[in-house]
Amino acid sequence: MPRSIRDLIIAVILVSLGLIMLFSSFEKGQSGTFMSMIYSVFKPINQTVSFIQGRSVDVFNSYLWLVNVSQKNRDLTEEVRSLRSQIVSLREKELENKRLKEVLELKSRLDFPTLVAQIIGQDASGLFRTVLVNKGSDDGVLPDMPVTVPEGVVGKISRSSNVMAQVMMITDPAMSVDCRVERTRDRGLLSGSYSYSCLLQYVSKGAQITEGDLVVTSGLDGIFPRGLVVGKIQSIRSSEHGLFLEAVVTPAAKLSEIEEVIVILGIQGGFSIEPGLESKR
Amino acid sequence: MKELIFFAVVGLCLLVVQCCVLGQIFSLEYKPDLALLLVIWIGLKGDYIAGLLSVFFLGIVEDLLSGASLGLFPVIYLAAFMFSAYISLNFDVESFGLSWSITIVTCFISFCIIFAARWLGGQILLEPVIIKLVFVKTISTSLCLIFLKPLLNSSWKGYCKLIGAA
């Protein structure tokens, strides 16, 4: 067989294979052997590089930027005193809050089992809004599980292998979260956008939402438990056809700065939606 | 075989740099695609079979390390590889100007295909910001050729010397 024909056949086979993978439903989110193998190779390398990065930042912060340290030290000592008194007060409030919750027999939204994972890599291409975390299906992390930080929602698990998982963030245009405006209880669909961080769409035209309103998850998409903070409304406008309102939302979590995330280990495929509970919030 | 090992090791290193290091230096919009530069470099180098295979697997790994659907990057990388290989067969690609022009064209088309695929898949809307993103990514990626091409050339020479190949 002439070499040029052989080369052409190999090229056609590889391109066809790529197209078949792209157009088939081959990918189900959870890992196959090949994906696990790739992630197993990358996890220790990524983790080591992240560790070295963290250390080098520490070295800079601890030794090289020692300007005005004594003044800062005095300020911080003062702040610690003030914070200690606040902690005592908050502990009292926490205990009171806990007792009241028990009395009302309302299940706390943080009752879900959770797992802390470390971010060990960003999206390789930079064209998608995803990050890699160092926990996988061996730790119970499965596709569609919500990912959050104390400040607010981060996204959901889009892929998982036994050692690593990929998180699709709320700023990715392929991501959608069913949300409510906390103050007015109006519903909308929040999705990522390249133009803005996030866009809350399909909000009813008559909704009395204003800038600065808090947006929380509604729990009706079957993935995110209700009541998690997503972000704040930055601006409001009428949708393209004028049927709905649209709001630009700034995510509560500083997505570019987070280093650790909390994965909510619910049932794979989301949380059960219990009708009637919505109104009890 | 020696080409495959070299491409695999360099590809792995570049992907780790892309995942962990570049994010600290560039914002996501400006983050260059070093793996695509490697693909173009392999194409211009002219190792056809080893190039095809390594580019295909590099694409799959990039898929897994990014949010892309499985199969998107292998197809794009194969197309970019074949385009640059075709150019290297018909033109003198030793000049930096020509290889840079090829890189700019290949990057621009590749990024356009990625966004077109996402749009066809219903994942994104066609917004003006997409055009800006394509241009920004193309410029940032092709600018990286200035230091990556000499680095790849010297690494390849060093590798050949190490294994005693001509």
**Domain-wise residue ranges, chain A:** 114-271
Nearest chain A residue to B68 by CA distance is: A128
Domain B2-23+30-158 of CATH type 1.10.3110:
no
CA distance A160 to A145: 10
Contacts of B35 in chain A (CB under 8 A): 124
Contacts of A2 in chain B (CB under 8 A): none
- Give the pLDDT confidence of A26-38 residue by residue, as tens digits: 555 555 666 676 6
CA distance A134 to A120: 6
Kindly report which listed range (A53-67, A112-126, B115-129) carries the lowest average pLDDT score: A53-67
Give the residue extent of every domain in chain B.
2-23+30-158
Contacts of A26 in chain B (CB under 8 A): 70-71
The dihedral sign for the CA sequence A242, A248, A249, A255: positive
CA A135 to chain centre: 14
ipTM of the complex: 0.75
Contacts of A125 in chain B (CB under 8 A): 18, 33, 62, 66, 68, 73, 114
For residues A206-229, give the mean pLDDT.
86
Q: What is the token pair recorded at A103?
A: 């009395």
Q: Which residue in the set A21, A124, A174 is minimally distant from B71, CB to CB?
A: A21
Nearest chain A residue to B62 by CA distance is: A124
Q: Nearest C-alpha of chain B: how many angstroms from A106?
A: 37
Q: How far is CA A193 from CA A88, A251, B26, B118, B127, in A?
A: 42, 12, 19, 13, 9
Q: Which residue in the set B12, B23, B75 is minimally distant from A22, CB to CB?
A: B75
Nearest to A235 by CA among A249, A254, A255: A249
Q: Are B66 and A159 a contacting pair at CB < 8 A?
A: no
Q: Are B26 and A126 a contacting pair at CB < 8 A?
A: yes
- Give the pLDDT confidence of B78-135 residue by residue, as tens digits: 888 888 888 887 877 777 778 888 888 888 988 888 888 888 877 777 778 888 888 8
Confidence of residue A275 (pLDDT cuts 50, 70, 90): very low
As its CATH architecture, domain A114-271 has Beta Barrel (2.40)
Q: Nearest C-alpha of chain A: how many angstroms from B151?
A: 20
